[in-house]
């Protein structure tokens, strides 16, 4: 059996499943509502298979609201995956800092050159 | 060809690859250094295959530092994946808020009961 984090990332590694989660972020939806945007490109069993992957990873769960079987988001695995990613935040912040320094140095360089050419004109 | 986000999540969906990224978060490492913790459980070609998955997803890149071929983390795909996850933050924050409210209501209930039993004793 795969660890929870691997299951979460694996379930998210598909644009259809991410689109389904995105739809569920607006509120609960039943299976046919979730399937609707994909019916031109895939069969209902294929849609159900995607939902099963999300469910097995614990990212969604089925609720029984009256006669409709709805799905809703479970946030906990997403939180754990985000917490895992957060440990690498320093790397992208560092690289943006470096980019920022580089852009500042270019601007400073341009200004210095501008001042120099300004001086030459007044000569 | 898979979209970048799917490639990122797919590359992260493996504990060995996550461990390799974790090692690289301490600094650049060459292939044999990265392979060392896994040599009991897997072959060098298997290790190289994992590194190739990380490289193809853009999560690591090879640097040529003197005679050593080192690997280093590329933060950009991790940032994009974290940004994608962040849109779901409200869901886990909401569920923690609900848990918080529930725990507060339990505490309040206990206090009220405590006060009531206190009153009965003084009667």
Instruction: Express each pLDDT in B64-102 by its tens digit.
Output: 765 557 899 998 999 999 999 998 988 888 766 776 777
CB pairs under 8 A between A and B: 79
Q: Are A10 and B6 an interchain contact pair (Cβ–Cβ within 8 Å)?
A: no
Whether the model clears a pTM of 0.80, i.e. scores above it, the answer is: no
pLDDT per residue over A75-110, tens digit each?
Answer: 899 999 999 999 898 888 876 677 677 777 777 777
Closest to A33 measured CA to CA, from A59, A66, A72: A72
CA distances from B16 to A37, A70, B6, B70, B92 (A): 36, 36, 18, 18, 27
B31 touches chain A (CB under 8 A): no
Q: Are A82 and B78 an interchain contact pair (Cβ–Cβ within 8 Å)?
A: no
Dist CA B31 CA B9 (whole Å): 22
Which pLDDT value is given to residue A121? 45
Cα dihedral B33, B37, B43, B45, rounded to 10, equals -40
Q: Is the ipTM of this complex over 0.90?
A: no
Which pLDDT value is given to residue B107? 77
pLDDT per residue over A26-76, tens digit each?
Answer: 999 988 899 999 989 999 899 999 999 999 999 999 887 655 578 999 989
Residue owning tokens 């985000």: A82
């Amino acid at each position: 059996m795969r660890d929870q984090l691997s299951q979460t990332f694996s379930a998210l590694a598909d644009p259809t499943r991410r689109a389904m989660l995105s739809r569920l972020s607006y509120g609960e939806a039943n299976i046919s509502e979730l399937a609707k945007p994909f019916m031109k490109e895939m069969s209902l069993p294929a849609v159900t298979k995607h939902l099963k992957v999300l469910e097995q990873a614990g990212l969604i769960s089925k609720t029984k609201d009256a006669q409709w079987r709805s799905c809703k988001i479970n946030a906990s695995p997403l939180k754990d995956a985000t917490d895992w990613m957060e440990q690498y935040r320093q790397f992208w912040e560092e690289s943006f800092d470096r980019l920022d320094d580089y852009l500042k140095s270019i601007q400073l360089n341009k200004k210095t050159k501008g001042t120099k050419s300004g001086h030459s004109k007044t000569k």
